[in-house]
Amino acid sequence: MRTWFRNLGEFIDALREAGELRVVEKPVSPYLEISKWTDRESKSPKGGKALLFTQVQGSSFPVATNLFGSDTRICMALGVRHLDELGARVRELLDLSPPRTFRDLLGLLPRALSVSRFFPRRSRAHLPPCQEVVRTGDAVDLSRLPVLHCWPKDAGPFITLPLVLTRSLATGKRNVGMYRLQVFDRATTGMHWHVHKDGSHYYREYCEAGRRMPVAVAIGADPATIYAATAPLPRHADEMILAGFIRNRPVAMARCLTIDMEVPAEAEFVLEGYVNPGEVRLEGPFGDHTGYYSLPDYYPVFHVTAVTHRKNPVYCATLVGRPPMEDCYLAKATERLFLPLLQTVFPEVRDYWLPWEGVFHNIVVVAVKKEYAGHAQKVMHGLWGQGQMSFCKAIVVVDGAVDLQKPEQVFNQVLEKLDVSSDLTFTRGILDVLDHSSPIPNYGNKVGIDLTSRMAGEPPRRSPDGPTTEVLLSSDELLTRIQLRCDGVVRARRSPPPSLSIGSWRNRILFLGVEKNDARTGRYFAERLLPASELQGFSIILLYDHHIDLDDTSLLLWKMFNNVDPGRDLFIRGRRVIIDAGKKSPEEGHAREWPDELSFE
């Protein structure tokens, strides 16, 4: 097994040899057509194949997509047989104990000194590969690149897999982040720095000093370096060191030609340029990884002073949208790599899981070894204070014996244990910029769900409501009875099925498709359905927009994790809850625009 790749071309060759690459030789357009191919492939069983488009209309450069979008390919990219191998290597470094004797020191030195090989180094090549072709000044023309117009309502073409390199004005530390770039014209793009990200923090330093900020963008690099740009490292941690750690070899860097920055020497393309303090332009909308369009807003402008590239480069792009997509596998690598680091702060954590349907920032499930009353709540609040975990809208805590690699065990914990009258902890805090469920951008309600076993000193869970005749009714029979009581309910599906309803679960779930209007809000349905005697046997009732397929479990989870504001959309009565997972209107306390769902139709 190959454990590292010098550049993107070597990785593509390895994918071809492994049967993981599909080459598309027919002419294709970068306007939506490549995206449609990629979307279909991403949602194929096991992530489909990586795609290489050799004839892209309007450009002489081929395009590669879905390079990391399967368990096989992400492991190939990072040089492991299983992603947990990365975490094991991190754990070895963290377990370095302070030497107590001279013999301990001698044993420790080789391991400590070996860390230095991870640090990036200056390329020894007379001509770095990324600078084999150079265009500066009036020769800069971004329209030569096959930049994808990903979704129909996107504001334009977006560079979607860029490695954006910046440097702190205060400390000189480098940051490499992945921030989309909307191409405005031949020599300018947007710079989508979210307010909480390190790139934005460095930009504010330059704004405060009134100085122009140099920025370099690499497009296409070795796979470990591309992954490292997506990793949620602490501020001032150099992503190039992480890439070197994954590769077990340093990343060769080359000095830019028009700005004082360094870039990966083996990159396919490099954009050099600058961002002026205070200069912003309207950017977006853009079809984002949430499965919705992120709304237009004002962001800094990136001025390109040079475009350099290899003699025969491959343009590297990704398509994001409703999961599963390629970014799900990159996020899975992060989940496994960062587990040992999380455990240094929370040693009680046995494992954690970021469900794909939660699009990385909406929900995390944590398995802990519980030791005392309130331990689950301690973990919740601790995680909300840690790095990018602070964006998480919902945290679910389960006992350490629950295998998070088997999602059905987590769902069974919900059915068997959840008591909404005692297991929910509500708070408020920062949210991801892309969270659209909160009435207030970047800030809103959060919920912690304690599914751990009760200990002395904790309130007991209430006994479930006794079974009623109605819990034995089919979904169609229930729908008929509900419609007599409540207008606007058009579909129903129950879980578990009637044959398992008596004595099998603490909780029974009912999914309803509803047709809202100005009068029929989530509260309207809650006020009519919670008192309904025929629904007393259902402790969790979820409301969805009427067109949603109630048989698609992944779709239902995705809608719930994305569309629910815990402080507004949970209607609790005793140990029963109605959760409104539908689109919200101003009549429901959501004055800002609700984004459109991504679709090629």
Give the whole-angstrom CA distance, residue 362 versus residue 292.
Answer: 14
Residue 551 buriedness (CB in 10 A; 0-12 / 13-18 / 19+): exposed
DSSP bridge partners of 255: 262
In sequence order, which ranges of 95-214 are alpha helices (DSSP H)?
Answer: 102-114, 198-209
- 256 and 240 in contact (C-beta within 8 Å)? no
Give the whole-angstrom CA distance, residue 565 versus residue 77.
Answer: 37
Tokens of 196: 């909480």
Residue 169 buriedness (CB in 10 A; 0-12 / 13-18 / 19+): middle
Sign of the C-alpha dihedral computed for residues 456, 458, 464 and 465 taken in this order: positive
Give the whole-angstrom CA distance, residue 421 versus residue 432.
Answer: 28
Sign of the C-alpha dihedral computed for residues 312, 163, 225 and 292 taken in this order: negative
Within 13 A of 124's CA, how many CA atoms are on the CB side? Answer: 1
Residue 336 buriedness (CB in 10 A; 0-12 / 13-18 / 19+): buried
Tokens of 354: 């970021």
| Residue whose pair of structure tokens reads 């920055």 in the numeric block | 261
Enter the DSSP assignment of 455. -
Neighbours of 373 (CB within 10 A): 14
Q: Whose CA is closest to 44, among 320, 290, 360, 324?
A: 324
Report CA dihedral (44, 48, 50, 51) to the nearest 10 degrees: -50
- 30 and 146 in contact (C-beta within 8 Å)? yes
Enter the DSSP assignment of 466. P
Helices 71-78 and 326-345 meet at what angle, rounded to 10? 60
| Residue whose pair of structure tokens reads 């419609």 in the numeric block | 483
Neighbours of 385 (CB within 10 A): 10
Residue 237 buriedness (CB in 10 A; 0-12 / 13-18 / 19+): middle
DSSP 296-340: PEEEEEEEEEEEEE-SS--EE-----SSSSHHHHHHHHHHHHHHH
Q: Whose CA is closest to 339, among 307, 366, 376?
A: 366
- 361 and 388 in contact (C-beta within 8 Å)? yes
Catalytic hit among 154, 238, 288, 565: 288
DSSP 495-510: ES-GGG-SSS-S--EE
In sequence order, which ranges of 210-325 are alpha helices (DSSP H)?
Answer: 223-228, 239-247
Active site residue 288: yes
Residues with catalytic roles? 288
